Structure 1
């Protein structure tokens, strides 16, 4: 039995607020050495990024990886498009769902799996404003119930 040694680097919590996550996928990402060093320091922002399929290849757009401070001339543009690595049949399946069902591909989290950097992609459907309000109301109600239960168990 092999245990996966995964370490989460960054999570896109805003994605769960703005979208219903239908399905999630794992993808590798093409990075340069200074970008990996910057990621190891936690200098990454997934907040406003999304994925796009161009010419049968998957790219993440808008992901900000801060320049590595000791990288000087080897640093790349922090907002450049980065290629995601998935099998062609998976990309074709995603492309069909994005075009037909009007879904969006959003990076949900980034993590190390062993020594490799992986991204968890979510096939998402956008939430309307009233859906967001419902989620907030449910979360608040659950928090109140948990708080009341905790107080009653004390005495």
Structure 2
């Protein structure tokens, strides 16, 4: 059987970019159990409540929902268990230092397979205020209207 190549998106956290100003973005591997991988291959996962922390010089992903595998037996995994992130020591130290500054959180942005291996894209986010969210929505709407006008004039 040929090996998988390329990037296959499983889940995306659209709320993260709405609720946070995303700064640094990193790609991390995940330590998963067999039934978790099978469930992910079916394209089932939710990142909406997820976040990451650094504890004892290790990075952990919490509250990411990977539902139980339908054909799993007693060896099935827990849906919202703590999962270890695979990062370099320098990356973990950098994240820990940024978190100590305060006001920042590590948010999962997307979950995908890259060349057959499960990866998660995490970003350092600073929470947006309500007026920031409204301003972002207004800017997006203005861009859409401008693009619509440009298309209408070129016809």
The alignment's TM-score, normalised by the length of structure 1, stands at 0.94
- Per the alignment, residue 48 of structure 2 pairs with 47
Alignment partner of 2:74: what SS?
A: helix
Deviation at 1:102, TM superposition (A): 2.6
Q: Which residue of 2 aligns with 1:38?
A: 39
Computed over aligned residues only, the root mean square deviation of the Cα atoms, in angstroms, reads: 1.1
| Structure 2: tracts of 5 or more residues without a match | none
Q: Which runs of 4+ in 1 moved over 3 A?
A: none
Mind listing any 5+ residue stretches in structure 1 that lack a counterpart? none
CA deviation digits over 1:88-137, x for unaligned, max 9?
22111110001114311001111111111011110111111111000000
Q: Which residue in 1 is equivalent to 2:80?
A: 79
Q: Deviations over 1:13-64 (max 9, x none)?
A: 1000000111101110000111001001111000111001111111111100
Q: How many residues align?
A: 151
Q: Aligned to 2:43, what secondary structure does the other structure show?
A: coil
Aligned to 1:89: 90
1:111 paired residue number: 112
Superposition TM-score, scaled by structure 2 size: 0.94
